[in-house]
Amino acid sequence: MRHTIAQQKGFTFAPIPFAAISFLSSSYVIHYLLFKERQKLQRLYHRLILAMNFALLPLSFTYVWSNFAVPEGTPNYIGASGTINTCTAQGFISVMLNMTVPTYYVSLSLQAFMGMKHKFQEENYQWIEKFIHLIAWCVPAALASILLFTDNLNPNGSGCHNAKAPQGCESDPDVPCERGGDVDMVEYIVGLGLAFLYFVFPPSIIISMYCWIKKLRNKMDMKRSTGMQQLREYAQKEMVQQIAIQICLYLFSFWFTFVPTIIVFAYTILNDGKILYDLLVFANCVFALQGFVMAMVYFTLQRLGTPKVEVLPTRTSGLRGNHPTVQSIRTSAMNIAMTDFEVTEDLKESLNFNIFDGVPDEDSPWAQFFDEDDE
């Protein structure tokens, strides 16, 4: 199917500024973590964020590279000025990192769940980190290598990806395929893997997380609440509300970059190969912007999850200062008369919690509230 010059220009040039914004956003996150807030790398969450942004850099570059990597003279690719080698390199990077990035993103939900289950004591679940890195890099590299060695990295879409050459030869008996072998099994694995990463794993983990917190809250509701127990109950109720907000932000940002592509794909299949070019260009632009979207989510979650606890006593002076520590709250709660401590009225709405970035137990105003047993 031949495309008009305007359509070719849209495919080629429209995603470039969005990819550049994505590249700059990922670069800033890397700079932020390595040079401005290096101490954050003590936490698994921030190390995963750093690794994901290192993967986003070359992925964003493939969108800037675009048709310029396609072999010169390829029909329907305006600006094609590359060679088979440049096309193969771009296709390998694109195929591999299009699996690496979502793997890291979904791993954030896994480490969040593990952190909450272990009260943010990272030494108890840090063992998952090496497996996350191995899966994120080795599995995509192996699948992309199969496509590389079978000559299946050829012009496809806005640049080079998994396809046979010349384009459309597999569906036209009159046009023999010059490059590309039979790799249907690899394509099924990649397709099902991406569907699992985007639509199965993250919702499963975070719904489990939400239900676990709800279970703790319901358990607390069944008991008479006094003193520190009442404080913990209030904190857990606040936590449930904040988790719901953060889950929505996490999933929306993740699906926002991928769903337009799924819609284009589904429409093309259901309409015998017809393409909505405007929607396809929009989908390419949104997908090229994912570095920016994920950077915004990272900093937004940090702002939403800045831990602050402010407690005002009613008829006692057991708590002093505007921002007491957890230890002072617990000590004061034990020393004052439990009936004089009206937590539900005195605890201001300033409890914030980031489900993805737990802080060390001894410093956290939240970790104390995960105890399933009363103290």
Q: For residue 6, what pLDDT is reported?
A: 83
Residue 319 pLDDT > 50: no
Residue 345 pLDDT > 70: no
The C-alpha atoms of residue 264 and residue 281 are separated, in whole angstroms, by 10
Residue 351 pLDDT > 60: no
Q: For residue 22, what pLDDT is reported?
A: 96
Mean pLDDT score of the chain: 78
Band of residue 190 on the pLDDT scale cut at 50, 70, 90: confident
The C-alpha atoms of residue 63 and residue 13 are separated, in whole angstroms, by 9
- When pLDDT is averaged across residues 183-195 and rounded to a whole number, the result is 85
Residue 105 pLDDT > 70: yes
Q: For residue 19, what pLDDT is reported?
A: 95
CB atoms within 10 A of CB 98: 21
pLDDT digits (tens, 9 = 90+) for 274-292: 778 888 889 999 999 999 9
Of 369 and 31, the structure prediction assigns the larger pLDDT to 31
pLDDT digits (tens, 9 = 90+) for 140-165: 999 999 999 999 999 987 889 988 88
Of 198 and 58, the structure prediction assigns the larger pLDDT to 58
Residue 370 pLDDT > 70: no
Of 95 and 172, the structure prediction assigns the larger pLDDT to 95
Residue 328 pLDDT > 90: no
Residue 324 pLDDT > 70: no
- When pLDDT is averaged across residues 247-269 and rounded to a whole number, the result is 81
Q: For residue 104, what pLDDT is reported?
A: 93
Band of residue 217 on the pLDDT scale cut at 50, 70, 90: low
Residue 334 pLDDT > 80: no
The C-alpha atoms of residue 363 and residue 342 are separated, in whole angstroms, by 25
Q: For residue 295, what pLDDT is reported?
A: 93
Of 334 and 46, the structure prediction assigns the larger pLDDT to 46
Nearest to 292, CA basis, from 41, 23, 97: 23
pLDDT digits (tens, 9 = 90+) for 292-314: 999 998 888 877 655 444 444 44
- When pLDDT is averaged across residues 108-117 and rounded to a whole number, the result is 82
Residue 327 pLDDT > 70: no
Percent of the chain with pLDDT over 90: 32
Of 28 and 356, the structure prediction assigns the larger pLDDT to 28
Residue 332 pLDDT > 80: no
